[in-house]
Structure 1
């Protein structure tokens, strides 16, 4: 007689939440309760819905505002899970919840690197050449539990955080799929997670996308890649008007001679929009937005001229 399916409570959100929840279902796990978030009206929701997947699969789904509430603890305890999982759930789980059953979290980096919030964005911002997904035991200290499995993905020189997040989502699915049988059998491997070898990063705010044109072009470009749409985008203010870079690349043919004659910031060169950086190199900006509408080189040139005139 086959053993009964393992019961699981899953805390999940975002694309990683959807894909990993599907892996559990495909692996025969009895998901008895899903805890997720209500979408925020002030957020650009470009990702898949855990709530919609639960409705489709007939899974009980709740959206508590407080992960530390006694009501949530009672609901999780009543579900009597054998295992618990957190897949991009945005709230920290208190010790009382973690004590209900063995709990595992999927983190979007190669732990112990880039622990904490927005790991993909931070990896791109810091010019990392690779990242990945790590399944690890949950502890009260974030992203500090023993590592169960990892999958690496490359970060190519022109990848945006959005593109890298797509790779990390697939890596998370592969990581969970590969180790799930061992998890269900109780013999999954454990590797120490030496947090001294990595850093913890806090969440990012839209204001963190402000461009400092005095920085080298490689750093400005990494900022653009890290926050390019559908994230809020790297921005600069000129004459009281805010411009957001939608698409850009490091200029491949800039020898520094032409840009060295220009002050750092936005400019129009040969009918093309560029961003001149502190080291004399330029970003070739193929799409610049003002109030979410693309700006042409002619429009930007006229506005820059008006700003210069107003300042003289």
Structure 2
């Protein structure tokens, strides 16, 4: 008889990992996912759409602690529970409804970067590697035994979305590789030494505010970590808000660095190009700068930037 599962899932990792379970012959009896938030930029795939294509029952409870959810999981009679980028912690009594275990895919190399938005934090902190981990679920987040991991590189100019795309593939590969042993009851359960990592909280759009007094590498990492489709790193000049959508760190010793070295930290135009000068006198060349007009972002040229900031500073 096929192993039976209830799957809690959302986002691209949820889509790909749900498809892995189906490809490996798991009987997915129920999918629990989220209603898309109309105020959120939905740039990722739909778990609900995949489940509907396969005729799987779908529910979208707002509260994972509700009795309706427990009743639905009990009716499904799962052997396993899987969570793939579902945004709520699952109560211990819900996890206990799966006699053969509950497992989660997390977007880091646990025990590093436990908690929220691990890919964004890894880019922000200048890491050169991250990955995906399949681990046992416990009452404490991202703390259960490790079943499998796959690492991916973070290149110096990678944005968080580019890294997240790699992590999605790593999640799929990890689950595909480990699932046969897990279903057979023979998968390794390795220690998850929490002392070797840290827990990180969620990030808000306001956390994308650029402090130009910081070193250029730190500013550049922030730009990469929250670049669109995330809300973006931003700076205010007068009454005008600008979002740095795409940029690159100017190499030490480049001619642009010498030209800008004596300018104060902040946004500047030099040779008809936009730059951000940072606290260590290094510069970031900005290839795409946005300004919100009528509620939508517009790409701003260097000359438009000068016009906007002149009028903003004198308004």
Give me the TM-score of the superposition, normalised by structure 1. Answer: 0.96
Partner of 2:128: 129
Q: Is the Cα–Cα contact under 8 Å of residues 255 and 281 in structure 1 kept in the other structure?
A: no
SS across alignment from 2:109: coil
Partner of 2:119: 120
Q: Is the Cα–Cα contact under 8 Å of residues 133 and 175 in structure 1 kept in the other structure?
A: yes
Matched, 1:9 2:3: no
Map 1:56-75 onto structure 2 (within 5 A). 56-75=53-72
CA distance in 1, matches of 2:48, 2:256: 52
Deviation at 1:255, TM superposition (A): 6.5
Task: Spell out, residue by residue over 1:87-129, the C-alpha distance to the aligned partner (whole angstroms, 9 max, x if none).
Answer: 0000000011011111000000000000000000000000000
Deviation at 1:258, TM superposition (A): 2.1
SS across alignment from 2:258: coil
SS across alignment from 1:21: helix
CA distance in 2, matches of 1:12, 1:307: 45
Partner of 1:214: 213
Matched, 1:25 2:26: no
Number of aligned positions between the proteins:
307
- Partner of residue 87 from structure 2, selected from 87, 90, 106: 90
Matched, 1:46 2:43: yes
Deviation at 1:301, TM superposition (A): 1.9
Map 1:1-312 onto structure 2 (within 5 A). 4-101=1-98, 102-252=101-251, 253-254=254-255, 256-291=257-292, 292-307=297-312, 310=314
Unaligned segments of structure 1, at least 5 residues: none
CA RMSD of aligned residues (A): 1.1
Task: Spell out, residue by residue over 1:27-81, the C-alpha distance to the aligned partner (whole angstroms, 9 max, x if none).
Answer: 0000000000000000000000001101111111100000011111111011110
CA distance in 2, matches of 1:257, 1:30: 63
CA distance in 2, matches of 1:104, 1:256: 49
SS across alignment from 2:261: helix
Q: Is the Cα–Cα contact under 8 Å of residues 227 and 246 in structure 2 kept in the other structure?
A: yes
CA distance in 2, matches of 1:257, 1:84: 58
Unaligned segments of structure 2, at least 5 residues: none
Deviation at 1:254, TM superposition (A): 4.8
CA distance in 2, matches of 1:80, 1:55: 20
SS across alignment from 1:257: helix
Task: Spell out, residue by residue over 1:170-206, the C-alpha distance to the aligned partner (whole angstroms, 9 max, x if none).
Answer: 0000000000000110110011001111010001110
SS across alignment from 1:211: coil
Q: Which runs of 4+ in 1 moved over 4 A?
A: none
CA distance in 2, matches of 1:265, 1:84: 50
